[in-house]
Amino acid sequence: MLRLTGLTKRYGARVALKALSLSLVPGQFVALLGPNGAGKSTLFQVLTGLFAADEGEVEVAGHSLGRSATAALRHIGVVFQQMSLDLDLSIRRNLLFQADLHGLPRRLARQRIEEGCAQLAVDADLDRKVRELSGGNRRKVELVRALLHQPSVLLMDEATVGLDPKSRLDLMKAMRANVKERGVCVLWATHRVDEAEQADRVLVLHRGELLADGSPAQVTQALGEPTLEAGFIRRTS
Ligand SMILES: Nc1ncnc2c1ncn2[C@@H]1O[C@H](COP(=O)(O)OP(=O)(O)OP(=O)(O)O)[C@@H](O)[C@H]1O
């Protein structure tokens, strides 16, 4: 589904990703757990084609990102850390714009927009400007947008920052439903250990390298402390 081989990204002399190799399979919620500066955002920027890697390969659903970027990127959906909706357009206009970018027929686009917004309980606000929405609802719209073209890989970068517990739960629930019902593979970048503990698989990233990879229990054991939080703090401080 998503395969990284020897992925390296440098900013001048600073190495942000160091020969990173891993494979993700469909239908998994994978937490990418790393402290500030671990390389999570850099990885997402490379995976979405914003930056080219200096070395290594990315393959998405069998397509090389380097050689067939359009085909590879068609299988990726992303919610970045920074909100990128147009504040002066309604939810519906924002989402229709995205659907047009993906070449979705209008009827199908309208249907997916309505279904997606209903699933995240923002359908009552479809014709309101994004500017008028709460931060939590803006995030939900971003998730609907990321899923419009039905990607097989969903990247979420610190998606719950600034959200209250109920909004965080709603977002997690919608993401989980996509994992279960559509077999989406979610890579969820976070520095919150409580979120990583809910994942099917945890990748611990530190200074651009993988420190541990496995179920939350396996990773806790690999980090050598009684809890994931204690191990994560000790090994990444
Ligand atoms: N544009 C840039 N120019 C130079 N260095 C950068 C740039 N972007 C990131 N870095 C450096 O690369 C490393 C990885 O940063 P990155 O933002 O990918 O980490 P992160 O895990 O996403 O951190 P955070 O949790 O704080 O968002 C850090 O050392 C950072 O200072």
Rounded Cα gap, residues 159 and 84, in angstroms: 13
Ligand 1 pocket at CB < 6 A: 11, 14, 16, 34, 36-42, 191
48/114 same-domain check: no
223/127 same-domain check: no
Rounded Cα gap, residues 223 and 228, in angstroms: 8
What does each of the 237 residues of the chain score in pLDDT, given as a tens digit?
A: 899 999 999 999 999 999 999 999 999 999 999 999 999 999 999 999 999 999 999 999 999 999 999 999 999 999 988 888 999 999 999 999 999 999 999 999 999 999 999 988 899 999 999 999 998 899 999 999 999 999 999 999 998 887 888 888 888 888 888 899 889 999 999 999 999 999 999 999 999 999 999 999 999 999 999 999 999 999 998
- Boundary of a domain, candidates 92, 124, 150: 150
Confidence (pLDDT) at 161: 84
Instruction: Answer whether residue 178 is part of any domain.
Output: no
105/197 same-domain check: no
Pocket test for ligand 1, best of 8, 36, 42, 82 (most atoms within 8 A of CB): 42
User: How many domains, in total, are found in the chain?
Assistant: 2
- What ipTM does this complex have? 0.96
CA of residue 36 to ligand 1 center, whole Å: 8
One-letter-per-residue 3-state SS of 176-217: HHHHHHHCCEEEEEECCHHHHCCCCEEEEEECCEEEEEECHH
115/93 same-domain check: yes
Radius of gyration for the chain, computed over Cα atoms and rounded to the nearest angstrom: 18
Range of the structural domain that residue 114 is part of: 83-150
137/158 same-domain check: no
Instruction: Answer whether residue 177 is part of any domain.
Output: no
Confidence (pLDDT) at 83: 85
